[in-house]
Amino acid sequence: MRTQVAIIGAGPSGLLLGQLLHKAGIDNVIIERQSPDYVLGRIRAGILEQIMVDLLHEAGVGERVAKEGTVHHSIELVYKNTRHPIDVTGLTNGKVVTAYGQTEITRDLMDARQAAGLPTVYEAANVSIHGFDGAKPSVRYEIDGQTHELACDFIAGCDGFHGVCRATVQDSITEYEKVYPFGWVGLLADVPPVSPHAVVYANSERGFGLCSMRSLTRSRYYVQCPIDDKVEQWSDDRFWDELRRRLDPAMAEAIVTGPSIEKSIAPLRSFVAEPMRFGRLFLAGDAAHIVPPTGAKGLNLAASDVKYLSTAFIEHYAEKSDAGIDHYSQRALARVWRAERFSWWLTSLMHRFPDTGGFGQKVQEAELEYLVNSEAMSRSLAENYVGLPLDFGQR
């Protein structure tokens, strides 16, 4: 088998890249280790920057997000059990974010790929990549014990944090990593969200809390927990009680509780691998970087990588220019580090660390008070939250 771009991984990065390339007339095959149901079973964040929504439209899958996504114009910060709205739209010349689950994006992209009859190999075992240092890259994989080979011009490593692509070039990368000393318990429930038009970020002496949503009838909530906690230690009742204690009284009172339909504990990590290009291999999305979920930048960063990468491939084939390919790593990493900084900052401001103590708590509260009362600092939060422009900082 032969294609122009071999894409490893059918998460949002790989599927979005495949769709954008297809629209530009570039052949691509996706090789995925898991089954479609497994891929759709993963619960992840769901706050989209406009850049992501625009890309979904460009990829021809914008219909459902436009209809079913909920537009947010603000965020709410809670500290000392008091709520403070930040007018994100007013502070960014009209920009918004959209609440729409990653699972739904994946489903929309999968459906579009299937409708277009594009090749996707699911449940591929022992995927390996070869020859990307030279002119003839290829991908090998097994289906039912049979080895197959896919020859290609380029390989896009969209295979997430535990994928094979970054592992293959391990010796050529520099890794930057920060692991946080706590986790998040997340709970999904079919109850109306307490704050349907803004995500709520709560700093409290008991630790961080977050109120988000997937739709007007499905809520997603989180509380910070000790790193070693097991999900069995978090009954639904304990979760709801703890969340309420971290919010302001009016919101705690208004929250509608119900049985969880999913509950899990996730660790928090910041991670960047540099560079993101190795000859004819390109890393994109979680394969190259991880942000802690505070600020919901993970999926949005995957989207900007894919935008830079698809543009580079389109320039290569249509305009015979390799400028985009040559600049991919530098361009993507510049945006990655801005989002890494923002996610690290918001995580540091909102969580209780082992050494936070009384002094640290007071400093966090002073910073939050400055944030909500200073237009300059509110604007800084707002412009990062809606997403810095793709060409930010370029002259």
Q: How far is the CB of 386 from ligand PHB (least distance, A)?
A: 13
Q: What's phi and psi for 151, nearest 5 deg?
A: -85, 145
Choose, from 12, 22, 72, 263, the residue flagged as catalytic.
Answer: 72
Q: Among ligand PHB, ligand APR, none, what binds residue 212 when CB lies within 5 to 8 Å by partner kind?
A: ligand PHB
Q: How far is the CB of 291 from ligand PHB (least distance, A)?
A: 10
Strand partners, 155: 6, 281
Q: How far is the CB of 355 from ligand APR (least distance, A)?
A: 28
**Is the four-CA dihedral 286, 291, 292, 294 of positive or negative sign?**
negative
Binds ligand PHB by CB under 6 A, chosen from 21, 29, 39, 45: 45
For position 224 contacting ligand PHB by CB under 6 A, the verdict is no
Q: Among ligand APR, ligand PHB, none, what binds residue 294 when CB lies within 5 to 8 Å by partner kind?
A: ligand PHB
CA distance 341 to 293: 13
Catalytic residue check, 307: no
Q: How far is the CB of 269 from ligand APR (least distance, A)?
A: 10
Choose, from 22, 297, 316, 351, the residue flagged as catalytic.
Answer: 297
| Closest CA relative to residue 15, chosen from 1, 35, 30, 37 | 30
Give the CA distances from residue 307 to residues 56, 205, 390, in Å, rounded to whole numbers and listed in that order.
11, 40, 9
Q: Which residue has the tokens 């080895």?
A: 147
For position 212 contacting ligand PHB by CB under 6 A, the verdict is yes
For position 48 contacting ligand PHB by CB under 6 A, the verdict is no
Catalytic residue check, 176: no
Residue 377, sorted as left (phi over 0), alpha (psi -120 to 50) or beta, turns out to be: alpha
Neighbours of 272 (CB within 10 A): 20
Q: Among ligand APR, ligand PHB, none, what binds residue 53 when CB lies within 5 to 8 Å by partner kind?
A: none
Q: Which residue has the tokens 């390339």?
A: 21
Contact positions vs ligand APR (CB under 6 A): 8-14, 31-34, 39, 44-45, 102, 124, 127, 158-160, 162-164, 285-286, 298-299, 302
Choose, from 79, 222, 328, 385, the residue flagged as catalytic.
Answer: 385
Q: How far is the CB of 237 from ligand APR (least distance, A)?
A: 29
Measured from the CB atom, the residue of 15 and 210 that comes closer to ligand PHB is 210
**Cα Rg of the chain, angstroms:** 21
For position 219 contacting ligand PHB by CB under 6 A, the verdict is no
Catalytic residue check, 72: yes
CA distance 95 to 385: 10
Contact between 187 and 221 under an 8 Å Cβ cutoff? The reply is yes
